[in-house]
Amino acid sequence: MAFYQKCIPHRYDVSIFDIDYKTLKKQGIKALFFDLDNTIIGYDQVTLNEQHHAFLASLQNDFYVVILSNTSFSRVSKALEGFDVPFIYHATKPLKRGFQKALHLASATTKQAVMIGDQLMTDIYGANRMNMVTILVRSVKRKSDRWMTKMNRIFERHVLKRIQKKYPELYLERLKDYVDDHAV
Ligand SMILES: [Mg+2]
C-alpha cells in the first residue's frame, strides 16, 4: 500500500465520545488504543476529568483499553492518576514498537484492535502500517500542540493535499470534515 493511502483513517469522528463503539464491538473488536494528547485531553490540561474517567471506565466493560502516548511517563501517569488503565508512554508512534506492546497487553491481534487519535502522521499512519482499524478524531485544542506536533502538522498539511489529489473520494468521505473542523 502506498504511503499516502496509509495516512487515510478508516473513519473520522468529531470526538472520542462520538465513536460508534457498539458497532466496533459487533465487528469483533476487542481492544481500543487511545492517544492521549489532543485526543482525550488538550496538551494544556494536566489530568482527565470525571467525564473522561466515567466514559473510559464504561468502555472497559466491553474492551481492553490502552492509552498509547508518545509523551513522557510523568505526563501520562499524572494525566491518568487515580484511573486504573494500562498505558504506554514514549510509544514512538508511528514506529511499530508501541503498537506491538499494546497488542501484547490486550492479547489482541491487529484485526481486533482499533487506534483512535488526532494525528495522521503518528496515530493513523502508524496503526495503518500495523493493519489495525484507525479512527481519526478532531484535536481537542489544536492551539495547544507542542513543537514536535507542530512540525508533524506541517507535514500533515502536505499529506492531506496529496491525498485530496490522489484519492478525492476517500478525502471527501474521511478527511474533509477533519480539515474543515480545524479551519474554524
Ligand atoms: Mg495527539
| Host domain of residue 23 | 3-183
- Note the pLDDT tens digit of each residue in 13-32: 999 999 999 999 999 999 99
Minimal CA–CA distance to 171: which of 161, 182, 181?
161
pTM greater than the 0.85 cutoff: yes
Distance CA 35, CA 134 (A): 11
All three cell numbers of 70: 508518545
Distance CA 16, CA 19 (A): 6
- Note the pLDDT tens digit of each residue in 143-153: 878 888 888 88
Strand 64-68 and strand 87-88: pairing?
A: parallel
* Cross-strand partners of 15: none
Strand 31-34 and strand 133-137: pairing?
A: unpaired
Q: Separation of 137 CA from ligand 1 center, angstroms?
A: 9
Distance CA 99, CA 130 (A): 8
How many structural domains are present in the chain? 1
CATH number at residue 83: 3.40.50.1000
Q: Separation of 98 CA from ligand 1 center, angstroms?
A: 14
Q: Separation of 119 CA from ligand 1 center, angstroms?
A: 6
Q: Separation of 145 CA from ligand 1 center, angstroms?
A: 8
